[in-house]
Structure 1
Amino acid sequence: MGAQAVSFPYPKHYLRIAVSTVFFLPGIIFASWASRIATIQQTLNLSDAALGGILFCIPVGLIISLPVAGWLISRIGSRMLVLLGISAYAVGLVGLGWAPNVPLLMACMVGFGFASNSVNIAVNTQAVATEKLYNKPIMASFHGLWSLAGFAGAGIGTFMIGKNILPLYHFALMTAIVLVILFVSYRYLLNDKGPAETRQGFVMPDRPLIKLGIIAFCSLICEGAMFDWSVIYFKKVLHAHNGWMGAGYTVFMCTMAMGRFIADWFAHRFGLKQTLQISGLLTAVGLLIAVIFPQIPTAMIGFLLVGFGVSSVVPMIYSVAGKSKTMSPGMALAAVSTIGFVGFLVGPPVIGFVAGLFNLRVSFILIAVMGLCVTGISSKVKI
């Protein structure tokens, strides 16, 4: 599924722009959802523990998608899976805004998780192929576009909250915009559908790839928790009013985007292992600052550090996985990204359960431990 096996009829910068676009679109979809979690929690009168249980429906959808997404990408290629996956992801967003009760919300979230994993595998497979065409590190810049979309989505969400616009109308508008841009971009993606005899389903990675997946898993627990709980942390722990509820999330998304745009240069200058070690430390320190000093200014500084901390881990890990010598780039990436993405989706409901037993500050200490795990595991692997 590498770039060598396919031809691209347009100048390669068309492909890079198209892949950048399809990274941006799921980013703004997820950020739109994350920015309104607190609103939906309040509307349905959910406790933190209940919200954590409901959020667990997203990783349930991911688990269901594992064999299906692997089979689909081998049958139809990542290009078609991008089209189908992002379309389903966008429509699922409307479902989350529409759901009038907990059972329907849970059902919509299962579908949302299913689509999210399919999209994650498809767009990263396109990115690996594009990076090979350029023959230089550009993976982090694609993830930077995803983060930049999260920043934009957070800003739009904050505006919608301030104007008291219902999540359904907010999500419907975002879905319409996403679908239009998607259908324009689709024709410029790389058609990587392989011959029938080379098609495979989901394949378990070898030991080195599993280690990479575990690093991604720990980092994505931190990232996913920040997406789903940062607004609620500002509301319930810091008692921020509506205009400031999304401030920490916005700062986090801003620095994560900035970090990803400089991550390729930083890793080349200081080395991949040191980059991962520093990333884990920044994540842990930032979260501890927010917990130990529960004020809006200090929490924003902490969230800023977390954004820098998580920014480079996943794109660096995915880039290494795409160069695997034991599996095709697409299948290696699918396996590693699946391990990591489980952390992204499992983290938030676990945080909810811990918050129900203790409080959100204790939950954020748990996330800080995951940041330290990134540093520890990165120190022991050969990269």
Structure 2
Amino acid sequence: MTTQDFENAARTVSTVEIRSTRLLFLIVGFGVAAWAPLVPFVAARAGLDAANLGGLLLCLGIGSLAAMPVAGALAGRWGARTVLAACVAAVCAALAALSASGSIPVLALALFGLGAGLGGLDCLMNIQAVAVERQAGRPMMSGFHGLYSLGCIVGAAGVSALLGLGLTPPTATLCVAAGIVAAFAGALPGLLSAEARGGPAFAIPRGPVLGIGLLCFVVFLTEGAALDWSAVFLARERGVELSRAGLGYAAFSLTMTVGRLAGDALVRRVGRVRIVGFGALMAAAALGIVVLVPGWGAALLGYALVGAGCANIVPVLFTAAARQGAMPERLAIPAVTTLGYAGVLTGPAAIGFVAHATSLDTAFLVIALMLLGVAACGRRIAFRTG
């Protein structure tokens, strides 16, 4: 696009559409995090041990992976508002069932529905975001993803606070559902319509879409490692008390959220290529600090730098997926989302296998090497899209 094109595009996007996109990201982050404080209540009510709970949680991932590849096609056929409303309803109903039921079949179905609802929302919010960013003619994706990260913090803290005040899980979940519905009602006026088009509902990612998806896989795997293994590492390898072991993920989440909220200005100043290259190098070096520098203080610093390095890579990659010409956008965005989310699902388990065979230090260093690959390949793969 020329400078004039950017200026013309900037006049076509409204503040209502920007606000609606931000609300969608906030809803998804809030919905994801609202489930976490309910996990121990579900496990206790259903009498689940760790193995059974792990198996049940697979239903969440299966639901997401089932919904993500087809969300764009469904929106093209039935309209984005209709599909988004169905996803919001699925999330609210699933959370209600999870907060009240002790039946394993019901919990499995509810987790599948929660995963499907969140997966559909995740895909469509990114399709909305790339359309709004294109119309605005300026980087906006990092800020949108920052609202997702903020939603995660607010959701986890909010539900925990409600439970801490003595509310029962069903009552706390009712408050969550009311907040989600209110936010979605606020987002409705600015939701973009999706035109019905022919073609397949899902296509195998190819060309630059496959490359972008694989880069997202590595970055999401890194995020999953911080979520699921940082506390274990601090407790086992650095002797941190269990009550403080969660500080590693807290440091990661804080810098990622701040980095994304400031990311649009940073992308404009630094450029997309450098964001991916320098960000991946920073995250890889930070994992080296976590593993190689003794002391829990160094580990906390390392996790904070991992969050800062990873913060804006995925938002930039979604913009690249929208700009490539090998696949239609309505297929490319779901494909990249699905590949990325597979990293969150499979990554922590793979880390466990590697750590069992070698050590947790080795597993983290393998991720660092993969991040070096992101730094090396990002320029060549993701930014032929301009």
TM-score category of the 2 structures, normalised to the smaller one: 0.7 to 0.9
- Match in the other structure for 2:195: 194
Contact 1:67 1:202 in 2 (8 A): yes
> Residue in 2 aligned with 1:258?
258
Range with greater deviation from structure 2 (288-297 or 340-349): 288-297
CA contact (8 A) 2:59 2:115 kept: yes
1:312-335, Cα deviation, whole Å (9 max, x unpaired): 111101111112234433332222
- Tell me how far 1:11 sits from its aligned partner: 7.3
Alpha-carbon distance change, 24 to 72 in structure 1, aligned in 2, over 3 angstroms: same
Deviations 1:88-111 (A, max 9, x none): 223323444445366654443333
Native 8 Å contact 2:16 2:189 kept in 1: no
Rg comparison, structure with higher value: 2
SS in 2 for 1:218: helix
- Do the aligned residues in 1 keep the contact of 2:73 with 2:330 (CA within 8 Å)? no
Percent of counterpart pairs with the same letter?
Answer: 29
Alignment of 1:175-186 (within 5 A): 175-186=177-188
How many aligned positions are there?
A: 370
Residue 65 of structure 1 and its aligned partner are, at CA, apart by: 2.4
Could you tell me which amino acid in structure 1 is paired with residue 254 of structure 2?
Answer: C
SS of aligned partner of 2:102: coil
Shift of 1:125: 0.9
1:216/1:339 contact within 8 Å kept: yes
Name structure 1 gaps, 5 residues minimum: 1-9
Q: How has the CA–CA distance of structure 1 residues 35 and 189 changed in structure 2, closer, same or farther, with 3 Å as cutoff? A: same
How much is the aligned-residue C-alpha RMSD, in angstroms?
A: 3.4
**SS of residue paired to 1:285:** helix
> Which runs of structure 2 are paired with 1:1-383 in the superposition (5 Å)?
12-34=14-36, 46-47=49-50, 53-66=55-68, 68-98=70-100, 100=102, 104-156=106-158, 159=161, 169-190=171-192, 192-195=193-196, 197-198=197-198, 200-230=200-230, 239-242=240-243, 244=244, 246-292=246-292, 296-352=296-352, 363-378=363-378, 380-381=380-381, 383=383
| Structure 2 CA distance for partners of 1:121 and 1:95, relative to 1, 3 Å | same
Query: 1:163: Cα distance to partner?
Result: 6.3
User: In structure 2, the residue corresponding to 1:203 is in which secondary structure?
Assistant: coil
Superposed CA deviations along residues 247-285 of structure 1, whole A, max 9, x for unmatched, are 333322221111112333333333322221222223233
In structure 2, C-alpha distance between the alignment counterparts of 1:364 and 1:97, rounded to whole Å? 35
Distance 1:299 1:163 in 2: 33
Q: 2:294, 2:287 → 1: CA distance?
A: 11
Higher relative contact order (CA 8 A, sep 6+): 1
Deviations 1:122-174 (A, max 9, x none): 11111111112211111111111111112223433564686687655544432
Could you tell me which amino acid in structure 2 is paired with residue 126 of structure 1?
Q
State the alpha-carbon separation in 1 of the partners of residues 191 and 172 from structure 2.
28
Structure-2 separation of matches of 1:21 and 1:282:
30
Question: Does structure 2 conserve the Cα–Cα contact (< 8 Å) formed by 1:79 and 1:122?
Answer: no
CA distance in 2, matches of 1:272, 1:104: 45
Distance 1:35 1:232, change over 3 A: farther
Contact 1:55/1:348, CA 8 A, preserved across alignment: no
* Separation in 2, partners of 1:234, 1:37: 22
Is the 1:143–1:315 Cα contact (8 Å) retained in structure 2?
yes
- Per the TM alignment, residue 117 of structure 1 is displaced from its structure 2 partner at its CA by 1.9
In 2, distance between residues paired with 1:362 and 1:41?
Answer: 32
Distance 1:214 1:126, change over 3 A: same
- Report the TM-score, using the length of structure 2 for normalisation: 0.81
8 Å Cα contact 2:35-2:95 kept in structure 1: yes
Change over 3 Å in CA distance of 1:24–1:205 after alignment to 2:
same
On the 8 A contact 1:74/1:200 being kept in 2, the answer is no
